[in-house]
């Protein structure tokens, strides 16, 4: 009897414990069921806002790309305009250069003729100015001191004077001499022939007898002009000066070695 009571008590206690456990489990189940809905709601809301943020970000990125694309297009348009201008400038320069080349090509014959004419003119002017060596047919006159003259009315000595050289040079110029020299000194427009004490200077250089006067020109005409009756040669011989004349086919006359400057004279502009 006592054993049945103990067994009944144990069963009752066991059932009580089971009932208590069941109530606790039910509470836990209800709690999780209740708060699982809230969790899902929180997660849903979070996902909604996250999707909205992503959508806004994607729209912002799209707008940025469109803005950058617009800027790139504007920059490219500006670069294209700049390149077009540079191309136009280069093309204009190329066209201008081509025209110049075509003009030179078309006028090459005329230019060559003009250059050749200018060279000839420079050569001619240099020859006339005495700044270049010359050669050609002509005559060579040699004057040397002679014996005393017998006629005192003419001159007291038979020495060659500066006036004698001047007379010969002037006669040669009048006869058409194209170039003249005295003992290697080229006679030009500014040449001076003068007596300085016991010596004669030509171009400020001392020269002494015998005086060799060279002249380029028509040899026959020059000789005839010098040997004409009662001309320069006859007069010099009367003074007692020794005079010899010879024709030559290759008379060489050097260029003027001095300097030619104009300190006061200037050209007149028209």
Range 147-151 average pLDDT: 62
Q: How far is CA 88 from CA 84, 95, 98, 174, 217, in A?
A: 6, 10, 15, 68, 64
Do 258 and 203 touch, CB atoms closer than 8 A?
yes
φ/ψ of 224, rounded to 5, equals -65, -40
For the chain, the residue count is 270
Per-residue burial over 39-52, b = 16 or more CB atoms within 10 Å of its CB, e = otherwise: eeeeeeeeeeeeee
Specify the pLDDT at position 67: 58
Specify the pLDDT at position 6: 45
Q: How far is CA 227 from CA 69, 144, 222, 236, 244, in A?
A: 106, 17, 9, 11, 10
226 vs 89: which has the higher pLDDT:
226
pLDDT at 44 over 60: no
Residue-wise pLDDT tens digits, 49-101: 555 666 655 555 555 555 555 556 677 666 666 767 776 777 777 677 777 76
CA separation for the pair 100, 93 (Å, rounded): 11
Helix (H, G, I), strand (E, B) or coil at 265: coil
Question: Of the ranges 34-43, 58-67, 171-180, which one carries the lowest mean pLDDT score?
Answer: 34-43
113 vs 227: which has the higher pLDDT:
227
The rounded percent of the chain whose pLDDT value lies above 70 is: 62
Residue 158 DSSP one-character state: -
Q: Is 130 left (phi over 0), alpha (psi -120 to 50) or beta?
A: left
Residue 218 DSSP one-character state: -
205 vs 83: which has the higher pLDDT:
205
CA separation for the pair 158, 149 (Å, rounded): 6
Specify the pLDDT at position 69: 57
Tell me which CATH code domain 134-253 carries. Answer: 3.30.70.1880
pLDDT at 167 over 70: yes
pLDDT at 104 over 90: no
Question: Which ranges in 148-263 belong to alpha helices (H)?
Answer: 162-174, 219-227, 232-238
Specify the pLDDT at position 32: 46
Specify the pLDDT at position 171: 95
pLDDT at 117 over 70: yes
């Amino acid at each position: 009897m006592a054993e049945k009571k103990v067994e009944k008590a144990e069963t009752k206690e066991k059932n009580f414990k089971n009932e208590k456990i069941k109530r606790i489990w039910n509470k836990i189940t209800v709690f999780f069921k209740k708060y699982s809905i809230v969790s899902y709601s929180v997660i849903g809301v979070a996902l909604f806002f996250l999707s909205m943020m992503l959508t806004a970000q994607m729209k912002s990125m799209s707008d940025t790309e469109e803005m950058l694309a617009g800027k790139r297009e504007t920059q490219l348009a500006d670069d294209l305009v700049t390149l077009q201008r540079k191309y136009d400038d280069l093309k204009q320069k190329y066209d201008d250069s081509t025209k110049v080349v075509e003009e030179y090509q078309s006028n090459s014959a005329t230019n060559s003729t003009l250059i050749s004419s200018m060279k000839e003119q420079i050569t001619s002017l240099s020859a006339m100015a005495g700044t270049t060596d010359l050669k050609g047919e002509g005559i060579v006159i040699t004057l040397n001191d002679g014996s005393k003259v017998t006629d005192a009315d003419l001159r007291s000595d038979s020495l060659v004077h500066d006036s004698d050289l001047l007379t010969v040079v002037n006669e040669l110029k009048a006869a058409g001499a194209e170039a003249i020299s005295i003992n290697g000194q080229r006679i030009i427009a500014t040449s001076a022939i003068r007596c300085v004490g016991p010596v004669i200077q030509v171009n400020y250089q001392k020269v002494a007898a015998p005086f060799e006067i060279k002249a380029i020109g028509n040899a026959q005409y020059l000789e005839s002009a010098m040997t004409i009756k009662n001309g320069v040669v006859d007069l010099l011989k009367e003074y007692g000066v020794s005079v010899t004349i010879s024709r030559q086919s290759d008379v060489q006359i050097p260029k003027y070695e001095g300097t030619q400057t104009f300190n006061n004279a200037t050209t007149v502009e028209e």
